[in-house]
Structure 1
Amino acid sequence: MSISCSVVSYHNSPDQIADVLRSISATPGIALTLVDNSRDDSLAAVAQQYGARYIHRPDNPGFGAAHNIAIREAIAAESTYHMVVNPDVSFGPEVIPGLLAYMEAHPDTGLVMPDIRYPDGRRQHLCKLLPHPGDLLVRRFVPALYRLSGRLDTYEMRRSGYDRTMQVPALSGCFMFLRTSVLKKTGGFDERYFMYLEDVDLSRRVGRVARTVYYPAVSITHAYQKGSYKSSILLTRHIRSAVRYFNKWGWFIDPERAAVNRAALRALEGARQAVDHAPVADGK
């Protein structure tokens, strides 16, 4: 058994990169690669400090394409698992062993994501259904209406409470623990997405051949900048990725999306009813 990991950076600070590389390298034996899409190679020294292989790509091929460099190497080397980790993430030494133990115990799982928190401890609701065009449009531009309609709670699977292990159609690319044999079947990220929605696309392809699971027993911290809410350039990239996604999978007619989302919501409702009808201890 072996674990590989890739981190893709774009002008992140040396301190931030040191935090994520330190978190990963706390678990011995991980083949760690830092792919740096920045214009300069100032992060090379940080990578060397934590035993990471450093690949400099100043041409900036994009988030998914940069991760694919390491993913292709992981597949060629027959790594057992591959981790995709954002540069704005940090976590304790229990996280990787916890996710590894879950994957070893559940060979039908191809992708697992831990509980994800803001630096102040608040939970990030990053478990999602496969998106409908209306989800992305209304959620981004009329968020109050989206929230008041109750659709936000449904789309982000908030009614689950995020307190139980569950199968999730779309998991966040900020931290993906993947079975490499499944990546060999599905391929890595679709490089037509420069950034945004490449994680939804990969989750969906993995979900066709294996389970995609949220596992809240271990937690990570994610800065989560929501760049497309602050930058018109990133918003444009987000819109372009959305168009590519729906052109690929279907806009308003997408039977697979409907079936996958219906199954996920049905499973949540079944779990909720099981809890509601569980016998209550009498306290004696």
Structure 2
Amino acid sequence: MKKYDLTVSLVLFKSNPAIVGQAIDSVYKSSLNFKLYLIDNSPTNELQTLKKDDRTEYIFNNKNLGFGKAHNIALRRAVEESSYHLVLNPDIYFHEHVLEDLFQYMEKNKNIGQVMPKILYPDGSVQHLCKLLPTPTDLLLRRFFSWLPGFKERNKRYELIDSGYNKIMNIPYLSGCFMFLRSESLQKVGFFDEAIFMYIEDADLTRRIHQQYQTIFYPAVQVYHYYAKGSYKNFKLMLYNIHGAAVYFTKWGWLFDSERKKINQQIVNEYLNLTDSNA
């Protein structure tokens, strides 16, 4: 018997207290038996004031460990003490019953290892965070060459925009901003790859879970995400993004990745009804 229904981790780094407060308040609306980990990579521990009560544990790292390595502090505990774990960005907020609805959905579907709800901007428009497994070309075009002819059509396919984002889909790459994970799946496939400081570690983990379970986009539940796209505005973050991609493709394959091609073809055929020649 697990101690908690759900554990939740937020990784902080010089985060806006008001924004993080919204995320924490959202978690605290839940009637589930939960524990929240605030894992702080900031240079000072000023954000410890965000701890509300004993359901929250504040962990000050005194250095920036990166996204995945910091979350892994909580994930290692989660597999022992909770049935599910939520990796949550500090710039997410949501209404009552969201966590309960996802919990019940996972309880009824034991073949699902990970679920992501529909992610919306604060104005209610959809964020297209379901993706095919990335190729080096996809990431290179998105980062540096989005002005090239043909990019928009290729990116539409990569983000599965024509799926409508209105039906349940089994997706191999779900965003790391909201990862509702079955603890059992983490015991099987492991945690975030700590060689990746930040960015694309979500692709790596979702892919490993997808090999053993379904990884589901579940649009019946919705959350809100401010989504700053920091790596497009900050040179250092861009370098982290490039390094993470290099680690990912060195692991899974740069030009030759037969599993990627097979999975992407299946996804395109099932949800877009197209023939994918660029998988």
The match for 2:66 among 62, 66, 79 is 62
The whole-number CA distance in structure 1 between the counterparts of 2:234 and 2:47 is 25
The match for 1:113 among 92, 116, 119 is 116
| 1:89/1:223 contact within 8 Å kept | yes
| 2:160/2:272 contact within 8 Å kept | no
The whole-number CA distance in structure 2 between the counterparts of 1:14 and 1:174 is 18
Secondary structure in 2 aligned to 1:144? coil
Quote the residue 1:45 is aligned against.
49
The match for 2:255 among 245, 252, 271 is 252
**Change over 3 Å in CA distance of 1:142–1:33 after alignment to 2:** same
Question: 1:50 Cα shift?
Answer: 7.9
The match for 2:34 among 25, 30, 51 is 30
Q: Deviations over 1:221-268 (max 9, x none)?
A: 111111111011111111111111111110010001011111111221
Runs of 4 or more off by more than 6 Å in structure 1? none
Quote the residue 1:177 is aligned against.
180
The whole-number CA distance in structure 1 between the counterparts of 2:18 and 2:237 is 24
Secondary structure in 2 aligned to 1:40? coil
Identity across the alignment (%):
44
**Change over 3 Å in CA distance of 1:15–1:257 after alignment to 2:** same
Q: Deviations over 1:185-217 (max 9, x none)?
A: 011100010000000000000001100010001
Quote the residue 2:159 is aligned against.
156
Q: Deviations over 1:42-62 (max 9, x none)?
A: 111212358411000121111
Equivalenced residue count is 270
| 1:36/1:55 contact within 8 Å kept | yes
The whole-number CA distance in structure 2 between the counterparts of 1:149 and 1:74 is 40
Unaligned runs of 5+ in 1: 271-284
Quote the residue 2:190 is aligned against.
187
The match for 1:125 among 118, 124, 128 is 128
Question: 1:149 Cα shift?
Answer: 5.1
TM-score for the superposition, normalised by structure 2: 0.93
The whole-number CA distance in structure 1 between the counterparts of 2:52 and 2:99 is 21
| 2:34/2:55 contact within 8 Å kept | no
TM-score for the superposition, normalised by structure 1: 0.91
| 2:118/2:222 contact within 8 Å kept | yes
- Aligned partner letter, 1:64: G
